[in-house]
Amino acid sequence: MILASKKAAARRSGQASRDQLLEEAARLFALKGLQQVTLAEIGAAAGMSGPAIYNHFQSKNALFIETVCMMYEEEIAAFSELLDPLDSVHDALDRLLDNVPEMYRDDGVLQLLGLTAQLEAVRNPELFAPISRAVRERDEVGIRLARRAKKKGELPAHVDADELGAMIIALFVGALGNRSLQSPLKKDFARSVETLRQLLQMKRHVKAR
């Protein structure tokens, strides 16, 4: 029993070290990019030696991939919670406007890490294929919504539901992510969110005429 307790404590300690490592890696990859950060720097920020990182990850690229994929898992869970209960694009846009701004961290890590991940996945698609798959999984949340809306009859038959669904996700991740970086003050970002809401409402009014 004593040995079992020690093993359990070691596992908990190991998981805590791994979580701290991922948190610091996310921050440093976001702030400096993949190429400008060393494993030793990440290890120091997490309170461990550079070589100790290899107990958790085989390479810096492996650490980067897991860090980014964990970020996308959080986004996928958040978007799924918002959109999976809906079968209306109009309702989805309103819900996204009300909730997506809260997803962005005050320090900009989510936005910057996402931009870094996209660049690296485009530059080296084979190495960073898991990142591209994670992006597609996030897009699938919007695609499922658009397919439900089309089946319901809200969308015209000629509409490409898959492209529209992916575009909905890209609109909120891209537009609000970019504006959050350009608007360090909360009131400025709130203005960007409200302007996007007005833009989408304007499109609806024009179509209604």
Q: What is the pTM of this model?
A: 0.84
Separation CA 209–CA 198 (nearest Å): 17
pLDDT above 90 as % of the chain: 60
Averaged confidence pLDDT in the chain: 87
Helices 60-83 and 39-46: crossing angle in degrees, nearest 10, is: 60
Given pLDDT bands bounded at 50, 70 and 90, which one contains residue 88? very high
Chain centroid to CA 17 = 23
pLDDT reported for residue 177: 85
pLDDT reported for residue 13: 52
Given pLDDT bands bounded at 50, 70 and 90, which one contains residue 107? low
Q: Please state, as a whole number, how many other Cβ atoms lie within 10 Å of the Cβ of residue 169.
A: 23
pLDDT (mean) for 182-186: 79
pLDDT above 70 as % of the chain: 87
Structure tokens at 40: 């030793």
pLDDT reported for residue 66: 96
pLDDT (mean) for 73-77: 94
Q: By mean pLDDT, which of 79-88, 95-104, 137-146 is the weakest?
A: 95-104
Given pLDDT bands bounded at 50, 70 and 90, which one contains residue 203? low
